[in-house]
């Protein structure tokens, strides 16, 4: 959905923030729509390895890379055609804006941390598009409206449109164009639900998705 509504076209360069289940599927969808290059940005090496081995996209670890300069270098100074934010309200970053967002949250002056959205807006090429696929719940601060206007960006977002996309997704899965089994990193009995949710929330033990069997 993020790739489709984000306007990914054949030959595009796409950057995806977040290598969880949502980000991986957005990256794979971008490739299926003809993107020439897809770069997924995260800090968890086990997730980045899944992206490389299963999804077939490039990766970037933001703890060891300067994301904005490297994206510009990879795109000849232009920036990605489409930037997809697949992190949401609990975005992490190693820069000062992360501490700023955390403090604002603790003081109840904002509800969400828009770190990845900001970076996607700054990264996108002039005339490009930014699609917000991550979940947000309320208000954010320091939103870069000026760069959106000055670069002529298209900014879109949406909730999941199941009735529209699921039939097509199931067809692609039947043709092995879309693989999801690797996302179920932890298969647990139902009575271990709290432990599984804790691993998913804290991203411990390499957890991408916990699946529970009754």
Q: What residue ranges in 82-128 does DSSP mark as E strands?
A: 82-85
pLDDT (0 to 100) of residue 99: 78
Higher pLDDT, 96 or 55: 55
pLDDT per residue over 4-44, tens digit each?
999 999 999 999 999 999 999 999 999 999 999 999 999 99
Mean pLDDT of 52-56: 97
The CA dihedral of 90, 94, 99, 104, to the nearest 10 degrees, is -30
What are the tokens at 33? 């729509």
Mean pLDDT of 147-175: 93
Structure pTM? 0.92
């Amino acid at each position: 959905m993020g790739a489709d509504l984000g306007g990914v076209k054949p030959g595009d360069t796409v950057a995806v923030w977040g290598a969880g289940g949502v980000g991986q599927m957005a990256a794979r969808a971008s490739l299926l729509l003809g993107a020439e290059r897809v770069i997924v940005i995260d800090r968890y090496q086990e997730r980045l390895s899944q992206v490389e081995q299963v999804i077939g996209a490039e990766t970037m670890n933001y703890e060891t890379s300067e994301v904005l300069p490297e994206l510009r270098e990879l795109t000849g100074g232009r920036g990605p055609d489409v930037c997809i934010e697949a992190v949401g309200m609990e975005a992490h970053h190693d820069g000062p804006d992360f501490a700023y967002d955390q403090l604002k949250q603790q003081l109840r002056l904002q509800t969400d941390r828009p770190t990845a959205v900001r970076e996607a807006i700054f990264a996108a090429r002039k005339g490009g598009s930014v699609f917000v696929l991550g979940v947000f719940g309320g208000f954010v601060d320091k939103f870069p409206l000026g760069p959106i206007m000055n670069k002529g960006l298209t900014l879109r977002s949406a909730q999941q449109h199941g009735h529209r996309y699921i039939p097509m997704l199931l067809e692609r899965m039947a043709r092995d164009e879309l693989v999801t089994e690797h996302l179920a990193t932890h298969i647990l009995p139902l009575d271990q639900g709290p432990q599984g949710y804790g691993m998913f929330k804290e991203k411990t033990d390499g957890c991408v998705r916990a699946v529970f069997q009754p």
